[in-house]
Structure formats: structure tokens, C-alpha cells
Structure 1
Amino acid sequence: MSSAPSSEIPVIDIGPFGDGDGPGAAAVAAAFDRACRDLGFVVVVGHGVPQAAIDAAHRSSRAFFDLELAQRDRYAAPPGGFVGYRGLGAEGLSYSLDQETVPDFKEAFTVGRIERGDEPYFTSEIGRMYMPDLSWPTEVPEFAATWTELYRHMDRVAWRLMRVFAAALALPLGFFDDKVDRNISCLRAINYPHQSTPAQPNQLRAGAHTDYGSLTLLSMEDAPGGLEVQRADGSWVPVRVPSDAFVMNVADLMAQWTNDQWRSSMHRVANPPPDANGNTRRQSLVFFHQPNYDAEVIPLASCCGPDTPPKYARTTSGEHLFMKMTKAKNINV
């Protein structure tokens, strides 16, 4: 495990944590606590996901975005939906800033929870809303298999990280287990096309925003123009990681659980510099970990006190997600 100055993103090896019973569990938890109180971003190594699985999902995603637009549009997300394909100009991430902006210069394909049971939690109207049917691009034969494998791996890593979070917050190790065992997470591929002409004024590949759920895991390609995180002083820190590492960031629900002791930081994806050479296309795979839709989120007692009263009212993961998605749809969509 290694750490960096607070102005940079710390690198933490989660291998020694195990499932909470590893020889380095306490040290890993302490490192995460420091990082989550600072920028809320960590470069995660030792996660155990085979590089072959990551590479295969990237290849199949790239093959999908290489299809003709008419083929991609066959898998367009339904009106008001989040699963499926969303083309260039379909999204703007201004909802985190409560201001209008031009659409992001990106396209994306998203799937929700891969494995669903036949009990009412999954089959009810509300369950179907948060876990809609999947529609795999058949033009890319390996797509479904590679994404299913990566989703399972990412779900497992997120479960371990929620145990790291519990240890870091001095909670029982399994505190979050029953809040994420039927999570409504999604896996998304984002393609940032080559910018052969300058972007519109104030247009970014992804505008400044925070994420919705408990945590986000990101696998990204190294290409000009990339992820940047906002420091407390308003300046931006570029994030660059090796292909075998994930970027993890604290998302809004975890910030609410900790009464903002942990930071859900603004981040964005910058445009390539004007003098960038060659193809500036960039691709990311993102796992948005969202707790069970009925998981209750209330600021933890240990994160509140006479001088730090609760900042947030009770909510659930599903209610919070619905509110955020509704807000996003009302701006530049």
C-alpha cells in the first residue's frame, strides 16, 4: 500500500484486506478513511479482477461503438430510461451544479443488474423500474459474455470495498452487507469520440458532476483529455492510472451516510488539448454501485454530534436515485 500527498490521488492495495479478515485489514481501512475524507478518490490496486476480463470488456465495447449509428440506435434507451444506448448530445451533467450547460461530448451504453431472482423484490413494478430487462447488442457476439463476467467481478470488488468502508468507519464489518446484497448497480461503457473540430463553448467530454450511489469504479484508457477531480480550493487534479488499476470515488449516498465527513467530489472529463496529436478517442468502463433500492440511508450516529448535527433527512437508495434521474432528465435531455 502506498499513499501520496493530499493534492494527489492515493494508491491503495486492497489485497491485504481480504474480506475483512486479511493481515493488513486495519491498515487498508485507515488508508481509505484518510483518502475519503480528503478528495474521496482512490486508485485501487490488488482488486483481483483478471486483466483479461477487463480487456475483453473494453474490446467488445469498442466494437459496439464502431457499429454504424443505425445499428447502435437499435439499442437506444427508452424515453425516461437509463439502460441501453445514448448517443452524442443525449446527456448533460449539469444537474450537479443546478445550472444549464451544453450536452456532453460522449456516447454511452448501459446495462443494469445482470442477475435477478424471481421473488417480488425483482419482479414487482418497482423492481422492474430499477432493474429493467437487458438487451444485448447481437452484432457483437462476445458482448454479453464479456460484460456479464466484468459485472460480476466489479460487483464483488464493490462488496469488498463496502466492507472496507465499514471497517474505516468503525462499524461492524458486515454493516453494509444487507444493504447491498440485492444492489441495483449498473455497468456503463462511455465512448469519447475523436474531436476533429473544437468543442462548443463550455462543452466538455463530461461536465462537472458527482455520482449518485455508494461508490464508483472506473477502468479507463489513457488518451488525451481525461478525468479530473476538483480540490477543495476549486482547482482540478488530473487522474491517470495504469490499465490494471481502478479509480474509485465516494458517491453521494456514502457522503450522506457519513454526514459529509467523506467527500463526494466534483469531477469531470476534460477535452483533449488543442495541440494533441493523433486520434484522441477515449473509452471508459464505469461500475456505478447503487445499494438495494429499499436500503435506508440516514447519517451514521458516529458521524454526528453536538457540533455536527445530521445534514440529511432519511432517504432510501431508490428514492435518491429516482430524484437524481428525474432532475437529470429535466436538464438538457
Structure 2
Amino acid sequence: MDSNAPALPIIDLTNLALNDPTETAKITESIRQACQDKGFFYITGHGIETSLQTEVFDQAKHFFAQPESQKLAISTQQSKANRGYEPIKHQTLEANGLPDLKEGFYIGIDHPEDHPMVKAGRFNYGPNQWPKNMPAFQQASRQYLQQLTELATKIMSLLALSLELEEDYFADFCQDPLVTLRLLHYPPQPAMSHPDEKGCGAHTDFGGITLLLQDENGGLEVWDHDNQQWLAAPPIADSYIVNLGDMIARWTNDTYQSTRHRVINKSGKERYSIPFFFSGHPDHNVACIESCLTPSEQAKYPPVTVEEHMREMYRRTYL
């Protein structure tokens, strides 16, 4: 496995701004091929300013450098909406695996305690928890979350076009979506660690799509189901890695792939990454798209709402 050469396609979105049907068709065809292969691809020309990305990374490093006691003061255990700090080894993403060697901070769309969805106990609805005396952390996180939500909505439109559906096919799914911005810190992998210990165990993502921003220290690997091997997905400057979650696989009857991936921090350095998870409206029904079935095929997955699906996925992966 050549860790220096990306094994995933790089798709430039710059020409979307031209509103040229021919250019858009080229982009959606590239997306279609990537989604049918591994469900992973890089995007460039996405419109997110490098200065904002850098600021979010800087604020994440500042937060994780605090004493453990200060971070635990805003633990996710104190939040009904799974917001705040998550210590190392709190989540186990790989089935029957060891707990993950990473710590994280969860951020979502702020909903006050008196919001109807919060009062009703809906999944991951509630206020954020913010570190004290870090106003720049909150400001950068909010701005970044908003811009990533807009970018994810655009990508959902491109996915619809790639499936030969109307561009607004996923519009209802994208209304008032469940989104999670997750700041992650991976300490260097211990030299004498257990051979099955990983920064992040092998898993598929739960929701619709994920947009991943990586620092310069690699570690992400994607499973190549055709050749039965792990492929490196190294950092590429000014890019995001986009991957499909389980909902897209359900919608397309596995025509589009939700692929296992993992993180092993072999760099010997601190690794930081910022995944953004776009899961859609909690009441939206995810059922197989008819055009993704041949006349002889049956849907592999029963219809499920976003909220039902997400609750079950979280139940499986938390200690």
C-alpha cells in the first residue's frame, strides 16, 4: 500500500459556479463512479476558506491541551443531546473491537431547552456545551458548522443528479437536518500497544454523508472490497474527503457504497481531524429508491426514519 499516492478520486467542484449543464454533468458522473466504487472521494473547489479551517484546527488544539478536569466539566455525559467532550476510549466503533484511542468534542445546531423538539426528547436536539473563557472557539465552530451544512446540502443535490433524480430529490431530507461537527484528537499510537488497538476502529458512518478535514498527519484507511486490502487516504491540501453513510446505502440498495474505514495514527505525532456528519431531518423516511432496483430485485433494507436509524447506531457503539 503506497501511503503517498491517493487511491481515491479527486473531484474538483470549481466549475459548478459556471452553471453550465455540461460541466455539472461531468462532475456528477465522476461522483456516480466514486459512489459505486468505494463511496469515498476527495473534493476541491468547495469554497470553504482555508483561514476558517485553520482557525477551527487551532481552537481544537487549544481545547484538547487543557487539563482533563476542565474538559470533563463539559462531558457529553451531562448532555441529553450528546454535546461536549468525549474522553479517550469512550467509544468503540469496531464491532467486538477495543475502545478507540481518540478524544473528541461534539457540536451541533443549538436548540434551547424550551424548543419543542428538545422538550419532546428528540434525538440529539438540545443546546451545545461550550468551554469557558474560549469565545473564539465558539465563534469559529458556529461559523464552520453553518458553512459545512450548506456544502453538504449542495453535495446531496449532486448525489441526486448522479442517480438521475431531480436535483431537489433530497430537499426534504436536508430541511432542519441533524448535523454533528466533531473535533477529534488522536494521541500518537503507543509503540507497545495491542495489535488490535486503533485510533478509530473499522466502521461505516451512520448518516447521510460525512465531510472530513484532515491535518497533515495521515492515518485514515479505507477498505478496498474488490482487492480485500486497506487503502491509505492521505491528506491533500485544500480538500475534503467525502464519504457516504449507511443511509445512502439503504436508499440505493447498496448501489452506492457505505464503506468501512479506520484510523491508525502511525505518524508518531498528535493527529487532529474534523469530521462533519450530515444526517438529515429526524422524521425523514429512508426507503429504497425505486430506480435503484432492477425488476427482479427486492429492497434489502426496510424503511426507517432518520431518528430510528441514528438511535440504533449510537446504541451499538457506546460503552
TM-score (norm 1): 0.88
Shift in Å, 1:133: 1.1
Shift in Å, 1:49: 0.5
Shift in Å, 1:266: 0.3
Unaligned 5+ runs, structure 1: 1-6
The match for 2:7 is: 8
The match for 1:102 is: 98
Q: Say yes or no: does 1:76 pair with 2:87.
A: no
Q: Distance in 1 between matches of 2:247 and 2:112?
A: 23
Q: Deviations over 1:245-294 (max 9, x none)?
A: 1000011001111110000000000231xxx5xx5110000100101000
Matched position secondary structure for 2:70: helix
Contact 2:106/2:182, CA 8 A, preserved across alignment: yes
Q: Distance in 1 between matches of 2:18 and 2:109?
A: 22
Q: Deviations over 1:146-169 (max 9, x none)?
A: 001110111011000000011001
Distance 1:130 1:81, change over 3 A: closer
Q: Say yes or no: does 1:323 pair with 2:318.
A: no
The match for 2:274 is: 285
Shift in Å, 1:119: 6.8
The match for 2:158 is: 164
Q: Distance in 2 between matches of 1:115 and 1:54?
A: 24
Distance 1:199 1:50, change over 3 A: same
Q: Distance in 2 between matches of 1:297 and 1:263?
A: 16
Alignment of 1:286-325 (within 5 A): 286-325=275-314
Comparing 104-113 with 129-138, which one deviates more in the overlay? 129-138
Shift in Å, 1:115: 6.7
Q: Distance in 1 between matches of 2:20 and 2:112?
A: 29
Matched position secondary structure for 2:143: helix
Matched position secondary structure for 2:243: strand
Shift in Å, 1:234: 2.1
Q: Distance in 2 between matches of 1:157 and 1:19?
A: 17
Alignment of 1:141-220 (within 5 A): 141-220=135-214
The match for 1:4 is: none
Q: Which amino acid aligns with 2:211?
A: L
Distance 1:76 1:151, change over 3 A: same
Contact 1:60/1:142, CA 8 A, preserved across alignment: yes
Q: Distance in 1 between matches of 2:125 and 2:290?
A: 31
Q: Deviations over 1:109-164 (max 9, x none)?
A: 001224789874x444144x322211111243310000011101110110000000
Q: Distance in 1 between matches of 2:127 and 2:22?
A: 41
**Count of aligned residue pairs for this structure pair:** 312
Shift in Å, 1:222: 1.8
Contact 2:81/2:127, CA 8 A, preserved across alignment: no
The match for 1:34 is: 33
Contact 2:15/2:23, CA 8 A, preserved across alignment: yes
Contact 1:182/1:292, CA 8 A, preserved across alignment: yes
Distance 1:174 1:101, change over 3 A: same
Contact 1:43/1:241, CA 8 A, preserved across alignment: no
Q: Distance in 1 between matches of 2:113 and 2:21?
A: 32
Contact 2:81/2:124, CA 8 A, preserved across alignment: no
Unaligned 5+ runs, structure 2: 1-5
Percent identical pairs in the alignment equals 28
Given candidates 126, 130, 133, the residue that maps to 1:136 is: 130
Q: Distance in 2 between matches of 1:119 and 1:100?
A: 38
Q: Distance in 2 between matches of 1:181 and 1:116?
A: 19
The match for 1:239 is: 233
